[in-house]
Amino acid sequence: MQAILALEDGRIFRGESHGAGGERAGEVVFNTSLTGYQEIFTDPSYAGQIVVLTNPQIGNYGTNAADAEAQKPYIEGLVTREFSPISSNWRSEQVADEYLERHGVPVVSEIDTRALVRHLRTYGAMRGVISTNGSNDEALVAKAKALRKMDGCDLASVVSTKETYEWTREHAGNAVPGLMPDAPVDDLHVVAYDYGIKHNILRMLTREAMRVTVVPAQTSAEDVLALKPDGIFLSNGPGDPEPLHYAQENIRKLAGKKPIFGICLGHQIIGLALGGKSYKLKFGHHGGNHPVQQTGTGKIEITAHNHNFAIDPDSLKQSEVDLTHVDLNDNTLEGLRHRSLPLFSVQYHPEASPGPHDSHYLFRDFRRMMEESKR
């Protein structure tokens, strides 16, 4: 069956259909990771987006429950050069084609993904439609143009949990890899705001002997403090951080009361809560191979990224905020730390999954910050 990807500027790509049939729309972005396609499918930060994978072979090692970062895929659609109808890996539980079909995600394969990525790099991320319905090109382009832009969208409250729940090491099995051998079991309590949280973030917090209570995105600061946390975590998530006024106000109320650590969207919310301004990147950062430099030590970390917006460093008060990390590809701000309050954040994903492990130390830094705050 033929599938079509139509972009809002009129560019059309034709290929083969896999996964689910029908029609799905979203903002088209590309990801440069070489592995970890199932983790990408299930990252809630991709809500509202069609993902182009630059690795030419996708689906060849299948899918399994352990590699999912959420209960279901969040991508609107997938675009690949080659998509394998079979899997060849001892961990595979279901071929990727059946997995995406079961969850209603369409796939377009056998297209020139290099040409598509070059187009997006030149003209920026844009709205698009995937269709297997035989619709004419003009109608699909019109649908793409009519799609709501990502700017101004609060998607965090859409993907967030609706109920508070506990996450302990039992969620990842009794033996958590890398658990600190001398640390008491779950001796610190963290309340994590779910703006689209990934399972591996929860695993990493658990690995540092933390008991985690996950709360909905719009939970009030007062309700969070009532849970008596030792620290507060702000998760990754999709969409524009600017319309999340409820989250920004909560952080202003919580800052200084408990140690706070934010990742990705959580970092952006912190930046806005501290008086900064956000802006949208031309085609975003999506991949597991981005070099980030620590401004204090000069050390370079290879990091995993998945974000479309960033905080303008010039909008932050340098007397209050230390800019701790910078992206070596485009000099965007990748990390900050408050000079007087126990609060820090990074734009990239230290938990990776997929991606390198260079930045796992940040979870230990969070633990140390909570320990110092309790003294």
Catalytic site residues?
Answer: 264, 349, 351
- One-letter amino acid of 360: H
Contact assessment for residue 23 and residue 139, using Cβ atoms and an 8 Å cutoff: no
Contact assessment for residue 96 and residue 59, using Cβ atoms and an 8 Å cutoff: yes
Strand pairing of 77-79 and 49-53?
parallel
C-alpha dihedral sign at 209, 213, 219, 225: negative
Q: Which class for 375: exposed (0-12), middle (13-18), buried (19 or more C-beta within 10 A)?
A: exposed
- One-letter amino acid of 17: S
SS3 12: strand
Neighbours of 294 (CB within 10 A): 15
Q: Measured between alpha carbons, how far is 41 from 232 in angstroms, rounded to an integer? A: 27
Contact assessment for residue 167 and residue 214, using Cβ atoms and an 8 Å cutoff: yes
Contact assessment for residue 330 and residue 283, using Cβ atoms and an 8 Å cutoff: no
Q: Measured between alpha carbons, how far is 89 from 86 in angstroms, rounded to an integer? A: 10
CA angle 299, 305, 308 (to 5 degrees): 125
Residue from 177, 168, 155, 330 nearest 239 by CA: 155
Reported residue count of the chain is 375
SS3 43: coil
Q: Which class for 134: exposed (0-12), middle (13-18), buried (19 or more C-beta within 10 A)?
A: exposed
Contacts of 41 (CB under 8 A, 6+ apart): 51, 73, 74, 75, 78, 99, 100, 105
